């Protein structure tokens, strides 16, 4: 087992995920009590994750230095490497920030850096950099801006990288973690088996013969988790779909098909379109918008729960990335309020059931497939819980919802026509709230700019904009500008995550 010391990076849990994929057991420790934790659990090695702190400003998020005297291999990633350098006598300084892909070049590749190539692309996300190495360390890899992007102290088995090997878009990242686990720590690899039956048994053990109100959205996560719950508890499952008007049109029909045809459950559909529009009136701040939507969802679920007093649980399709992005890790900085995490008021006397809380998207898809859900359901692109509200910059109105529906449908139609739907992670349109000039017919119009965002991602934590063929982009642009009322211009969003999140709000 390897211990990951979590310094709060958004990708700290991805390190564990990669190791878990390789079949290596991991435990997480917080820096404050990592030393006793490591002594007690006796791992084969230690990984220090990245974190949002800057050592050059504040080195208080630290670890007991004696961790380096235990004789265990240590691998420091980003902040984890900077902290290692800082604690062992090196220097860390504030530098030019780097976010996104950079090319690393290796001079030599000792120990964990024994990789198929010497030059490849890595994901960087940092504002500090190590400027002087501690004694015993050798620089082995550098990027344009970072001299000590990969370092090794072979005699002490301590390694450091400034980049994120756990990010999917870091080439050979998984090989690097594998080299550390297998060659340096001596771990054997026993890859994880995804087993829906196991989850069904777990649900049965938790729920027994009680009733579960299940929040479903028609999306992959809630469908797969409610479906497995249905398999576990039969008619004690009460799926509830709130028609907020912020979802894609026809989603209610899709939900009906899943929970009446594919599995028989007592489906409840609540028409709350007017309530959502009223609650969102005049709101332009993205966080206020998210919180308003989250609160209304909770209110509605309370009302549903009041009608089903015999229900003991509220089921949700929360998956691992939701937990992390909503500050699941103690030292992580807050990014966005995901309305499906932690929004339950104390008064709601229901226990929370989140059977897929520890699984990642691709694992959830595979579990759905194995449980018998059709491909067009498990392979759907993700859609945000707050729906189109986060794809309308500024106030959400009925008129703007109609615009974004048409624009969204065009993007999806064209992407499907080009057989790209399954190849990209998400493809969507955003009403940007920016206005520009156009000439339509004979007249000048000053109308809204639509942004098209099409991205590739495996792990949600990082993504790249997709290199869509120009003719597909041309078709999307021409159709949106012609078919969506009140639009002057279409732009293509070419920003990676990090730094830009996938959604605009």
Active site residues: 78, 164, 166
Q: What whole-number distance in Å separates Cα of residue 102 and Cα of residue 133?
A: 21
Q: What whole-number distance in Å separates Cα of residue 29 and Cα of residue 27?
A: 7
Q: What whole-number distance in Å separates Cα of residue 60 and Cα of residue 67?
A: 16
Q: Does 336 bind ligand XMP (CB under 6 A)?
A: yes
DSSP letter string, 353-381: E-TTTT--HHHHHHHHHHHT--HHHHTPP
Question: Contact region for ligand XMP (CB under 6 A) — 73-81, 112-120, 338-346, 445-453?
Answer: 338-346
Shortest Å, Cβ 264 to ligand XMP:
26
Nearer Cβ to ligand XMP (349/423): 423
Q: How many CA atoms lie within 13 A of 413 on its CB side?
A: 11
Q: Does 382 bind ligand XMP (CB under 6 A)?
A: yes
Q: What is the DSSP letter of 491?
A: E
Nearer Cβ to ligand XMP (20/336): 336
CB 176 within 8 A of CB 165: yes
Nearer Cβ to ligand XMP (162/427): 427
Q: Does 338 bind ligand XMP (CB under 6 A)?
A: yes
- Nearest 5°: CA angle at 91, between 6 and 117? 70
Q: Does 456 bind ligand XMP (CB under 6 A)?
A: no
Q: Does 502 bind ligand XMP (CB under 6 A)?
A: yes
Cis ω before 438 (30° cut-off from 0): no
Cβ within 8 Å of residue 141, ≥6 positions away: 104, 105, 106, 107, 113, 149, 150, 151, 161
According to CB under 6 A, which residues from 127 to 146 bind ligand XMP? none
Q: Does 426 bind ligand XMP (CB under 6 A)?
A: yes
Nearer Cβ to ligand XMP (164/338): 338
Kindly tell me the burial class for residue 447, based on how many C-beta atoms sit within 10 Å of its own C-beta (0-12, 13-18, 19 or more). Answer: middle
Q: Are strands 119-132 and 91-106 parallel, antiparallel or unpaired?
A: antiparallel
Shortest Å, Cβ 341 to ligand XMP:
8
Q: Does 408 bind ligand XMP (CB under 6 A)?
A: no
Nearer Cβ to ligand XMP (133/367): 367
Q: Does 220 bind ligand XMP (CB under 6 A)?
A: no
Q: What whole-number distance in Å separates Cα of residue 222 and Cα of residue 77?
A: 33
**How many positions of this chain bind ligand XMP (CB under 6 A)?**
15
Shortest Å, Cβ 457 to ligand XMP:
8
Question: Contact region for ligand XMP (CB under 6 A) — 49-57, 407-415, 443-451, 497-505?
Answer: 497-505
Kindly tell me the burial class for residue 8, based on how many C-beta atoms sit within 10 Å of its own C-beta (0-12, 13-18, 19 or more). Answer: buried
Nearer Cβ to ligand XMP (146/460): 460
- Binding residues for ligand XMP, rule: CB under 6 A, are 325, 336, 338-340, 382, 384-386, 426, 460, 497, 501-503
């Amino acid at each position: 087992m390897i211990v990951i010391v979590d310094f709060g990076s958004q990708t700290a849990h991805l390190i564990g995920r990669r190791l878990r994929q390789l079949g290596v057991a991991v435990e997480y420790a917080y820096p404050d009590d990592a030393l006793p934790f490591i002594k007690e659990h006796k791992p084969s090695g230690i990984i220090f994750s990245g974190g949002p702190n800057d050592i050059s400003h504040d080195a208080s998020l630290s670890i007991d230095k004696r961790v380096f005297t235990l004789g265990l291999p240590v691998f420091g990633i980003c902040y984890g490497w900077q902290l290692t350098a800082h604690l062992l006598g090196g220097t860390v300084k504030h530098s030019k920030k780097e976010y996104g892909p950079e090319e690393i070049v290796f001079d030599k590749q000792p120990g964990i850096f024994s990789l198929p190539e010497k030059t490849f692309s890595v994901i960087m996300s940092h504002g500090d950099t190590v400027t002087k190495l501690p004694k015993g360390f050798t620089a082995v890899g550098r990027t344009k801006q970072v001299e000590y992007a990969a370092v090794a102290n072979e005699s002490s088995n301590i390694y450091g990288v400034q980049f994120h090997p756990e990010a999917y878009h870091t080439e050979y990242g998984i090989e690097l973690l594998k080299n550390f686990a297998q060659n340096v720590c001596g771990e054997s690899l026993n890859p994880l088996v995804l087993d829906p039956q196991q989850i069904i048994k777990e649900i049965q053990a938790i729920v027994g013969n009680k009733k579960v109100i299940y929040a479903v959205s028609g999306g992959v996560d809630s469908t797969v988790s409610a479906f497995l719950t249905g398999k576990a508890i039969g008619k004690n499952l009460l799926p509830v779909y709130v028609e907020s008007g912020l979802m894609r049109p026809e989603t209610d029909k899709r939900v009906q098909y899943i929970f009446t045809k594919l599995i028989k459950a007592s489906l409840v559909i609540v028409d709350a379109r007017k309530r959502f529009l009223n609650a969102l009136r005049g709101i332009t701040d993205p966080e206020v918008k998210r919180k308003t939507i989250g609160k209304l969802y909770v209110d509605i679920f309370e009302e549903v729960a009041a009608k089903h007093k015999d229900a003991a649980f509220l089921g949700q399709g929360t998956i691992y990335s939701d937990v992390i992005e909503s500050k699941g890790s103690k030292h992580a900085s807050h990014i966005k309020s995901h309305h499906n995490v932690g929004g339950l008021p104390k008064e709601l006397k229901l226990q929370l059931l989140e059977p897929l809380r520890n699984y990642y998207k691709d694992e959830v898809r595979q579990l759905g497939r194995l449980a018998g859900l059709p491909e067009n359901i498990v392979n759907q692109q993700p859609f945000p819980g707050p729906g189109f509200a986060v794809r309308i910059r500024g106030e959400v109105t009925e008129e703007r919802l109609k615009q974004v529906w048409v624009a969204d449908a065009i993007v999806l139609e064209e992407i499907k026509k080009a057989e790209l739907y399954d190849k990209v992670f998400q493809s969507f349109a955003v009403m940007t709230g920016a206005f520009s000039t156009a000439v339509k017919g004979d007249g000048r119009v000053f109308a809204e700019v639509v942004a098209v965002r099409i991205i590739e991602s495996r792990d949600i934590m990082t993504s790249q904009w997709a290199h869509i063929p120009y003719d597909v982009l041309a078709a999307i642009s021409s159709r949106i500008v012609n078919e969506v009322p009140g639009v002057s211009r279409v732009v293509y969003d070419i920003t990676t995550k990090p730094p830009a999140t996938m959604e605009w709000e």
